[in-house]
Amino acid sequence: MGGPTSRWCVLKLSSTRRWKSGRDFNRLSRTATARSEAASTALGGSVSGYMPFGTTEVSQHESAPMINYIFTTEGILTEQLKGFFDGWPNPPSPETHLRLLKNSDEIVLAIAQETKRVVGFITAITDHVLSAYIPFLEVLPEYRGRGIGKELVAFMLERLSNLYMIDLLCDQELQAFYAKRGMLEARGMMKRNYDNQSGSPFPSSEHAG
């Protein structure tokens, strides 16, 4: 999401059609509570700031590495963020990616337990009153097809579940993926400043001044 494309759609989370009434997330949260201490230990302290709720391990295949999910950038290094923004002509650097994550209101990171590499992420910006927007969801190409994207979206929607509206933009072929998460198709508009695709050279607060 967020990359250069000529086909976009807008999807929103219906306030009356939340995904499966939280049943799937309740399953995840029970797993998270039971395994949070083990996950923190398994990462060897390289990623700190764990929340008691929401750190879990998920493996879709026997041969797949275990994946830990965290909600903080504390302890995350730029070396762990290589390979993202796949297909972008002028992608943000790992340093800019880390700045992006730190400046987001909500994040969920998927970390491969064996390598401690960040293999997927999702972000949201919100006014914490009524609305939120999800600008980025990405899983590294070699880790796709293992359900990591589904887990990232599930965790993020739960973290934003107290808000009235949750919106995002996506390519048309991804509509079905988000529809399964309880989101609805809608219309929207967008603008892209491609000169800034690799990241703004200054913080937004400086620009506002």
Rounded-to-integer distance, Cα 171 and Cα 8, Å: 5
Q: What is the DSSP letter of 33?
A: H
Flag whether 145 is in a domain: yes
Task: Tell me the average pLDDT of the chain.
Answer: 77
CATH number at residue 88: 3.40.630.30
**Domains contained in the chain, number:** 1
Closest CA to 40 of 51, 29, 24: 51
Tell me how crowded residue 109 is: count the other CB atoms within 10 A of its CB. Answer: 23
Query: pLDDT digit string (tens) for 21-40?
Result: 344 444 444 334 334 444 44
Flag whether 154 is in a domain: yes
- Alpha-carbon distance values, 29 to 55, 56, 139, 177 (Å): 8, 8, 21, 22
**For residue 49, pLDDT beyond 60:** no
Token pair 């219906």 is found at 14
Flag whether 178 is in a domain: no
Flag whether 160 is in a domain: yes
Structural domain that includes position 149? 21-165
State the pLDDT confidence band at 204, using cuts at 50, 70 and 90: low
- H-state helical runs in 104-203: 148-159, 175-179
Flag whether 135 is in a domain: yes
- Strands (DSSP E) contained in 15-130 are 57-58, 67-70, 106-112, 118-126
Flag whether 180 is in a domain: no
Rounded-to-integer distance, Cα 27 and Cα 7, Å: 35
